Structure formats: structure tokens, C-alpha cells
Amino acid sequence: MSERILLSTPHMSGKELNYINDAFDKNWIAPLGENVDKFEHMIKDYTGIHSSVALSSGTAAIHLALIEAGVKDNDIVFCSTLTFSASANPIIYQNAVPVFIDSEKDTWNMCPDALEKAFIKYKVMNKEVKAVVAVNLYGQSAQYDKIQEICKRYGSILIEDAAESLGSEYHGKKSGTFGDFGVFSFNGNKIITTSGGGMLISNKYEKINHALFLATQAREKAVHYQHEEIGYNYRLSNISAGIGIGQMEVLDERVNRRREIYEIYFKALSDIEGVHFQPEISNSKSNRWLTALTVDFDKLSVKPNELIDYLNVNNIESRPVWKPMHLQPVFKEYDYITLEKDVAKQLFETGICLPSSSNLDDDEIHYVCTKIKEFLG
């Protein structure tokens, strides 16, 4: 391939320019305007959630969710360990204490049994757990029927980090709707993009309204600039929201294409002994944002990094599965709750994410499959 095959790139529909040009024509360039309002309404209509606020990033959305959950200094927050650092960093922004929870093999997401074990441990220590940040990895939903019940029983706020899973479903409900708060990301590599951006959603209208207030520098209603709380510059621009509107119009197409790409990989590679794809559990539908698989070294005598290097030489970008937060130097001092086996560590050591851009054609995907088979012999 003369052109490098990338992991996940933006895929514009052409419709975005209509809304961008409209913003320019009306001179609505600032972080407010018709595009922002419409983008928020489209997300509400799509998910069925009552309230939303468009933000500069998914990280900002998690931060505001933690604030609205009442997380403050030294509060305990449970967080999925197998995720990108943006899921955990806002906990530190609040001077709170993250406790990382291991994954389960069924979804690669937060293990409900490990979550229960963590709650029991901290109850014995007489420490309240203020919030739980559960992540939907690579588009696959966590088991929220179990996680919701555990959080409710222990009186903890559930924040659903659906940054990677817009368009996914669990038990017939849209991803992002299972927590007290839901978070989406529109970064350049996501299923749809605003170049950079995020969204916080919830059925708690007053909480979202306050999050909006904080996201616009917590400016009070006064002629002069009056501030009684610390605020943030977290609002999404009207230009970026215009991109988001155009992208929302093709979201279902993007999800369908990523699922098609997964099927091509699965049919070509799943018969290889020692290759296992991220599961899609019953009563769920993953948007397959990234197709991810594991390679069994004992059966194939191949380390994932060796395969990644080989693909790179052949002009193909691939990545390891996220390095768990409990293995990151910046978080080494914090507690980690697992069962008998460190599942997240195993997935990191054996997992690979393959090119999954919705604008890749079948020939490019088949080329990737050919090179993987070639390397595996």
C-alpha cells in the first residue's frame, strides 16, 4: 500500500460545510449559537435523555460529571483500569482518590464482581465511595444491569464513560444512558468527530444546567463580571458543533460500516488458533469503534508488539490495547481491586487494535488481514 492505513481517522460526509458556512454567514463563531443548540438536541433525541451540554472534550464532561456528583478532596472514586487516562485524570483534578477496578473477560470492561469486592473493602474501612466511572471499551458496553444495581445498593453515583461507544446499545438502550451521567467524546479518532469536543448528558436537569453554568466560567447574571464559584472554559464552539450536526446525520452509517469492517476481520482471522476477538455479549450491540483482538503467545509464539512492528513496516498502523491505569507510573500509589487474575494486564499484554476507519475500503482491510496471516505463518 502506497498510502498508510491508519487506525481511526475522521470521515467527513460533506454535510458539515452547510452548518459551518451558516455559522460564518451569521457570525456565530463563539461557544454559543444555533449549531450548539441543535447539536445538543440531536444527542438528546438520539439517546432519549432529557438534558445535554456540548463541551470542548470528553475529559471536560467527565470532570463536570464528577463535580455534579459532589466529588471533592479525598473522596473515593472507583474507575475502570483498562481505559485511556482521560477517564481517570479528572478524579485527580478534584483532589479525589481513584481506586482502579479490574476488567472481566466477557466484555473487557469493569468486572461487576471486582466492583462488588471493592465496595465491600471500602465499607469495612468505613469509607464512602462517592462515584464510579465505568468505561465502554472500544464501543462495547459494560454489564450495566449488574453495575447499576451495585452502585444503587451502595449509594454511589454512576458515571458512564461512553466516549468510545456512541451508537452502541445494551438491552435495547443507547450507550451513555445507563449512568446518572453519560459522557461522549468527539475527538478526531472517534466514531463521529467535531475535531475535538464532548457531551455531558443526564436526566438530572438541574445538574446539567449547573454544569453548563460552570462550563461558561461560572459567570453570574450581572452586568459586570460576577463570579461566586470557580468556573471553566469548557464550552464547544458553534463552528465545531456545526461539524457535529453533519456527523450526527451519518452516525448510523458510520456504525454500520465499522461493524462491517469487524466482520471482515473476524471471517478472515477468527479461525487462526490463538486469535480471539473482543466479545460482543448477548443483548448488546457494539459500534465496533475499533476492532480489537488478542494473540495467544503460547499457541502462536508471537508477541503483539512484534506483530505491530511488522504491520508498521508494511505501512499499517495498529496499537496495543490501552495500558491499564494501575500500571501507569502516575497512578502507581493508588489501590487496585482484582479477583484471582489480573485480566486487564493480560489484555494489555496480548491485545492489538486494528485499523477501523469507516472510510477504509474492503481491499485495504483485506490487505491488513493478508499481512497478519503472512506474519503468523
What contacts 24+ positions apart, CB below 8 Å, involve 149-155?
A: 150/112, 150/115, 150/116, 150/119, 154/119, 154/123, 154/129, 155/128
Helix intervals (H) in 217-250: 238-248
190 is catalytic: yes
Spatial distance between the Cα atoms of 27 and 283, rounded to a whole number of angstroms: 46
E strand or H helix at 59: helix 58-68
Q: Where are the alpha helices (DSSP H) in 270-361?
A: 297-300, 304-313, 343-350
Side chain identity at 151, as an amino acid letter? Answer: C
- CA–CA distance, 322 with 320 (Å, rounded to integer): 6
User: What is the Cα–Cα distance from 246 to 27, expressed in whole angstroms?
Assistant: 19
- CA–CA dist 238, 30 (Å, integer): 6
Q: Which of 38, 190, 285, 345 is catalytic?
A: 190
What is the number of other CB atoms lying within 10 angstroms of the CB of residue 11? Answer: 18
Letter string b/e over residues 80-118, b meaning 16 or more CB atoms within 10 A of that residue's CB: bbbbbebbbbbbeebebbbbbbbbbeebbbbbbebbbbb
Q: Check: CB of residue 235 under 8 Å from CB of residue 215.
A: yes
Can you spell out the DSSP letters for 134-197?
EE-GGGPPP-HHHHHHHHHHHT-EEEEE-TT-TT-EETTEETT-SSSEEEEE--TTSSS--SS-
Residues with active-site annotation:
190
